[in-house]
A and B are shown apart, each in its own frame.
Chain A
């Protein structure tokens, strides 16, 4: 027997997902592994495809919001904000000031909730048990607040063209003011648990590097792009709603590795607390809805518009086309998760099997948005 024949090896194909515990929903990737090294990756998406864009064409303008909730089902308020702004621009109405403030507060709180979800899942990906529970403890506070505001913990259906569904509940501002230090403390605690941990650092620093040029080329946005060192935030580069008047920083990473993506999100949570604090201080009294016609008469003039917001996962864009009438003609979603996921290939180069899980976790994908 020759040595060559004795040492003949084959690459093993490992199926990660859609039921694998580390794939965040129903993403599936077939990893080609050479021992522990990843030699190739074939991603499969579409397990959660519900045809959101087609469904939207058969719903009335305002009713589409319930489907928006279900695209990125961890940052619902941000999605609703994007769509509501699009409708308002098509209709040519302005929401009252109180509604604007309420929207920004809720969207930023939703950013904290979403990043907490990332924190927990990322902790589980690198093998720690406790971060997930800490993150959900912090989420729960805010979820209960959301429940008090909109009546639902996840699928809020709260932002409408021209304002909000109903006013913020009584005592909302006081409750939130009382809660913010606790939220801040929760973020600090999560920070203390993981960020400086040597085991965590050795798992994330230098893993899954994405150069700034590559990130831009793949159309990444949000924390994934900012971790690579690009200071790009829709709230700053194409300001909407109240953001031009608010004072906040855009945290930027240096190396574009998993640790930077984690760190940027943690820093963003702190910025969100700052934004909420500012909005609370200025929250005015007043109407919460600019009157728009009710459902049989709700018509949008023919036209089209592209509107995008900075979602927790990146640049969430909606292209709305109206041909007049009660239903949108076309709703196109520019999904930040989908574009970020495209960068998985270059990130997985020369990685280990265990890294693949961490890299996927650091992208923080939500399959409801990738598959739509």
Chain B
């Protein structure tokens, strides 16, 4: 049975929206548990088996809390901000492919679309920072704007390497090119830059400068409470999930690698299930890596962060792009230079920290 295209898209959107909400709840639980065990704590233990219901309980608590707006806040800006953060991030899910078919719309300009939407929420954060009429929030909002815009460039350039190599902007096609070798091995420098830049895009440790607890006490979120605050949280974890899913698709071979179901071996739902399982494992692995980093690393300073973006990531992403372009023209062996460049990148990070 095939539904009319519009209805079909709506159904898919509805399913994806609910899946995202569920995934966010699970991610918050995983983060709390991972951090707790890294710190030799137990984490949530009371609500349900090993605290599994803790996040739903927290979500309900947040929903029924009073929705406070500070008296001196710029009311409309303040109240609109959470949605302007959440909507662009949610829009990213439109074209994230969980398998070849499980996708709302497989856009031909998928990557262009994702890159375009991935930094739109900076507007919402800036509005939150300005509208709160709070100095910490303002500082945090301005920090967020600076950081997100700067890291947009290396992120886009890192992805551009993949696009140049695969010759497509369609996520499905990119994934299907990775049945043999995932782009992780072909684009090592690109992966590294993508991971670092997306950590910064997500404002997660070591780049959680906009919301730095010990400096600006939550930054743009400082005046929010209840539901609006939970929408920020939702957006944060949803974007984490989206970014990890993109990384899994364009670098780790999505549902195709390492065991792509050959035609005839598996078909129908079994193939889809296998694909989704692979995809989820890869995505979750990346997300846990982010949590692990959060449990280990301190935070950079804003000027160091900007310096890192403009003096390190952007030049190196250019190098990556040039290597990839050369490889396209003169043969794939040149991609090995990417590994050398990765070593150079690591060494440069080391040197910078010793100055």
A–B direct touch in complex (beta carbons closer than 8 A): yes
Q: Give chain A's interface residues, CB within 8 Å of chain B.
A: 12-15, 20-22, 33, 36, 123-130, 133-134, 137, 193-194, 197-203, 205-206, 352-355, 357
B90 in contact (CB, < 8 A) = no
- When distances are taken between beta carbons in the complex, the residues of chain B under 8 Å from A355 are 301
Choose from B136, B205, B213, B350 the contact partner of A14 (Cβ within 8 Å).
B136
A129 touches B295 (CB 8 A): yes
Q: A21-B213, A353-B139 are in contact. Are A199 and B297 (CB under 8 A)?
A: yes
A129 touches B303 (CB 8 A): no
- When distances are taken between beta carbons in the complex, the residues of chain B under 8 Å from A22 are 214-215
B71 in contact (CB, < 8 A) = no
Give the docked Cα–Cα distance between A124 and B297 (Å).
10
Give the docked Cα–Cα distance between A194 and B217 (Å).
23
B353 in contact (CB, < 8 A) = yes
A127 touches B302 (CB 8 A): no
A127 touches B349 (CB 8 A): no
Q: What is the CB-to-nearest-CB distance from A263 to chain B, in angstroms, rounded to a whole number?
A: 14
> Max chain A CB contacts within 10 Å: which of B41, B208, B353?
B353
Give the docked Cα–Cα distance between A194 and B295 (Å).
12
Give the docked Cα–Cα distance between A129 and B214 (Å).
11
B40 touches A194 (CB 8 A): no
- When distances are taken between beta carbons in the complex, the residues of chain A under 8 Å from B205 are 127-129
Q: A127-B208, A202-B353, A357-B215 are in contact. Are A36 and B302 (CB under 8 A)?
A: yes
Give the docked Cα–Cα distance between A134 and B294 (Å).
15
Q: What is the CB-to-nearest-CB distance from B32 to chain A, in angstroms, rounded to a whole number?
A: 12
> Max chain B CB contacts within 10 Å: which of A13, A21, A36, A200?
A36
Residues of B9-60 contacting chain A, CB below 8 A = 35, 38-41
Give the docked Cα–Cα distance between A293 and B350 (Å).
64
* Cβ-closest chain A residue relative to B143: A36
A137 touches B40 (CB 8 A): yes
Q: What is the CB-to-nearest-CB distance from A94 to chain B, in angstroms, rounded to a whole number?
A: 44
Q: What count of chain B residues pass the 8 Å CB interface test?
A: 37
Give the docked Cα–Cα distance between A125 and B298 (Å).
9
Q: A21-B213, A22-B214 are in contact. Are A202 and B297 (CB under 8 A)?
A: no
A123 touches B298 (CB 8 A): yes
B354 in contact (CB, < 8 A) = yes
B262 in contact (CB, < 8 A) = no
B214 touches A352 (CB 8 A): no
Residues of B279-302 contacting chain A, CB below 8 A = 294-302
> Max chain A CB contacts within 10 Å: which of B35, B214, B296, B299?
B214
Contacts A130-B296, A198-B349 aside, 6 further interface pairs with beta carbons under 8 A come to A125-B214, A127-B297, A129-B295, A133-B40, A206-B355, A355-B301
A354 touches B301 (CB 8 A): yes
A-B CB proximity, top 3 nearest? A127-B299, A133-B39, A198-B353
A14 touches B135 (CB 8 A): yes
Q: A125-B214, A357-B215 are in contact. Are A205 and B354 (CB under 8 A)?
A: yes
* Cβ-closest chain A residue relative to B136: A14
A124 touches B214 (CB 8 A): yes
Give the docked Cα–Cα distance between A85 and B188 (Å).
64
Give the docked Cα–Cα distance between A130 and B294 (Å).
9
Q: A137-B40, A357-B214 are in contact. Are A128 and B353 (CB under 8 A)?
A: no
B156 in contact (CB, < 8 A) = no
Q: What is the CB-to-nearest-CB distance from B86 to chain A, in angstroms, rounded to a whole number?
A: 25
Choose from B138, B213, B301, B354 the contact partner of A203 (Cβ within 8 Å).
B301
- When distances are taken between beta carbons in the complex, the residues of chain A under 8 Å from B85 are none
Q: What is the CB-to-nearest-CB distance from A29 to chain B, in angstroms, rounded to a whole number?
A: 13
A352 touches B40 (CB 8 A): no
Give the docked Cα–Cα distance between A340 and B347 (Å).
37
A21 touches B214 (CB 8 A): yes
- When distances are taken between beta carbons in the complex, the residues of chain A under 8 Å from B128 are none
Give the docked Cα–Cα distance between A194 and B216 (Å).
23
- When distances are taken between beta carbons in the complex, the residues of chain B under 8 Å from A123 are 298
Give the docked Cα–Cα distance between A25 and B21 (Å).
39
Q: What is the CB-to-nearest-CB distance from B216 to chain A, in angstroms, rounded to a whole number?
A: 8
Q: A20-B217, A126-B299, A127-B298 are in contact. Are A202 and B135 (CB under 8 A)?
A: no
- When distances are taken between beta carbons in the complex, the residues of chain A under 8 Å from B302 are 36, 352, 354
**How would residues 84 to 119 of chain B score, 1 for a CB under 8 Å from any chain A CB and 0 otherwise?**
000000000000000000000000000000000000
A128 touches B136 (CB 8 A): no
